[in-house]
Structure 1
Amino acid sequence: MPDQRVRDFAAIRCASARRCGVGQVLLADAERRIALSGHDEAWLTVVLSNDPARGFYERHGWRRDGPATIEIEHGSRPDVLYLWRFAKSVTCLTPVLGGRAVAPVLRSGP
């Protein structure tokens, strides 16, 4: 059974690419790949103060799943990073036409 956690996905956006649909395409592709790999839920984290990212994920069907923290080493002392955890159910359906499977379609649930 595959691990239901998907980790280490990050999208880096440059200022000139904002509001051009690049993030939407990358996110949809990541969701599709997660579903195709056998996972039925994806999750990610966003820094609490990153309102633009929070809004982006919420607009694309992700739900806030609660707070999270991670401890990172910063020189000689650890720092705590406060985050929102977001989750989304993903299911990959493979439609069949005339007895032949066609390209998978991602269906996302609440």
Structure 2
Amino acid sequence: MRDPYLLLGIPEDADDLAVEAAYLSAIKACPPERDAVRFQALRTAYEQLRTNRDRVAHELFQTAPPELADLLDRAAPVGEPRRPARALVEALLRGDD
């Protein structure tokens, strides 16, 4: 499961308005007619983080391991096509931030 914070491009301390604004901006950039899979992923991410209560539940009960795409997103920000350093990937796998 992709990290909803990374998918919406928001920090983990974002409030309700920031989550909604990021979601609306993301679906305007990627409507369902263009990419239905990404749109559904954005919708799922928004539903997980919609309110403060939802964000707390996500933090407490989300136990799925990170996907490779999440690790690569954290290792190399968008716009920098490069291979991440081995030490950085190992640190991410250990859970170091």
| TM-score bucket of the superposed structures, by smaller chain | 0.3 to 0.5
Normalising by structure 1, we get a TM-score of 0.31
Higher strand proportion: 1
Q: Which has the higher Rg, Structure 1 or Structure 2?
A: 1
Higher helix proportion: 2
